[in-house]
Amino acid sequence: MKSYRITSFDEKPGLCDVPVPTPGTGEALIDIHACGLNFADLLMMRGKYQDTPTPPFALGMEPAGIVRAIGPQTDGPAPGTRVVVFSGRDGLAEQGVFSADRCLPLPDNMSFEEAAAFQIAYGTSHVALDYKARLQPGETLLVLGAAGGVGLTAVEIGKVMGARVIACARGADKLQVCRDAGADHVIDSTCEDIREVVKSLGGADVVYDAVGGEQGEAAFRATNPDGRFLYIGFASGDLPTLKPNHMLVKNITAIGLYWGGYLAFKPEVLTDSLRRLLDWYSAGKIRPHVSHTLPLDRADEALALLRDRKSTGKVVVTMDPSP
């Protein structure tokens, strides 16, 4: 089978022929149809992600496909079941073996491409806004990096939860994507002063920061008293410097979130969240935005779209070869 693999952090990943793996106890063999890409894949390529495995391994954290077989003494999912998996790795391949208890059955009306774009992005935003920040109807939510993979889901979920949403992104095209997702106000980070615009709109009660750096610092300065500041990621490459004395005086709470970390100590947070999200999907309240779909033999290009910030929403790799 074909697998897009890292053999060394000093070399570029590439497409390789490898044997089809055999599922062991508690595992399922999946015929992979699509896999969503994440910023974490870019970090993993350089050995910079917190859960980077030792090479060789395949990139791809959220494959979707059909169960081909399960290992001995394994309770489902049954062969033929359509599933999505939070695998953490090995999703950019034609087949893969994954823990059976991480295989989530798909609604009948969800495509593999949508499933591959769903779990991490929506899960991150829902756990952040609901479980961590306790976003309330009528509050103002500021989303940085709002046209990106997780940011766009934060815009959607914020609206479903009844918030007023301010979306910050780069350029007119990305701002229109944010409007289409329900943003009430938009800010062009290339030419507008984030702090001044947000303050003119009454300030932010919750900040969703997937960017960091100067944008994060500007957003913090526009956070209202008793506000919550969510650390989601640092796509800018820089950490925001938040002043503890300002946090103290304004009673601001800083909150970190690593979505996948809950698997180790509180997995019910993720399962409860995903159950709610799938209900919202079935009701038509949320819909994954996939800006680019490329085949496995063009995985280099797919990752470059993320790295160069040329995508909106999610980039998905399919296992169909180029025509």
Q: Return d(Cα 88, Cα 104) in angstroms, integer.
A: 14
Domain that holds residue 31: 2-118+288-318
Domain CATH for 97? 3.90.180.10
In a domain, 17, yes or no: yes
In a domain, 274, yes or no: no
Pair 257, 124: CB distance under 8 Å:
yes
Pair 137, 163: CB distance under 8 Å:
yes
Q: Are 248 and 300 found together in one domain? A: no
Please state, as a whole number, how many other Cβ atoms lie within 10 Å of the Cβ of residue 246.
12
User: Residue 147 — φ and ψ, nearest 5°?
Assistant: -95, 0
Total count of domains within the chain: 2
DSSP string, 271-316: HHHHHHHHHHHHTTS----EEEEEEGGGHHHHHHHHHTT--SBEEE
What local confidence, expressed as pLDDT, does residue 236 receive?
Answer: 81
Pair 115, 122: CB distance under 8 Å:
no
In a domain, 101, yes or no: yes
Q: Return d(Cα 58, Cα 36) in angstroms, integer.
A: 13
Q: Are 221 and 298 found together in one domain? A: no
E strand segments, 158-260: 164-169, 185-188, 204-209, 223-231, 253-256
Q: Are 92 and 134 found together in one domain? A: no
Cα separation values, 143 from 9, 128, 161, 212, 249, Å: 33, 12, 14, 11, 23
In a domain, 48, yes or no: yes
Q: Return d(Cα 38, Cα 71) in angstroms, integer.
A: 29
Q: Are 125 and 255 found together in one domain? A: yes
Q: Are 185 and 88 found together in one domain? A: no
What local confidence, expressed as pLDDT, does residue 240 receive?
Answer: 81
pTM: 0.91
Q: Please tell me the chain's helix, strand, coil percentages from 3-state DSSP, rounded to the nearest 5.
A: 35, 30, 40
Pair 3, 18: CB distance under 8 Å:
yes
176-181 long-range CB contacts below 8 Å, 24 or more apart?
Answer: 177/147, 177/152, 177/289, 177/312, 177/313, 178/143, 178/146, 178/147, 178/152, 181/152, 181/155, 181/156, 181/289
Q: Are 68 and 180 found together in one domain? A: no
Angle (CA) 152-271-135 rounded to 5° is 45
Q: Are 242 and 196 found together in one domain? A: yes
Q: Are 153 and 241 found together in one domain? A: yes
Residue 53's Cβ-side half-sphere holds a number of Cα atoms within 13 Å equal to 14
What is the sign of the dihedral through the CA atoms of 34, 97, 49 and 3?
negative
pLDDT average per 10 residues of sequence, the chain (323 residues): 95 95 97 95 90 93 97 94 94 96 92 96 97 98 96 98 98 96 97 97 98 95 98 85 91 95 92 93 94 96 94 94 60
The helix/strand/coil state of 78 is: coil
In a domain, 28, yes or no: yes
In a domain, 280, yes or no: no
Cα separation values, 86 from 37, 100, 117, 162, 212, Å: 12, 11, 11, 28, 25
In a domain, 265, yes or no: no
Pair 152, 208: CB distance under 8 Å:
no
What local confidence, expressed as pLDDT, does residue 14 receive?
Answer: 95
What local confidence, expressed as pLDDT, does residue 279 receive?
Answer: 92
Please state, as a whole number, how many other Cβ atoms lie within 10 Å of the Cβ of residue 237.
8
Q: Return d(Cα 196, Cα 193) in angstroms, integer.
A: 5
Domain CATH for 205? 3.40.50.720
Q: Are 70 and 111 found together in one domain? A: yes
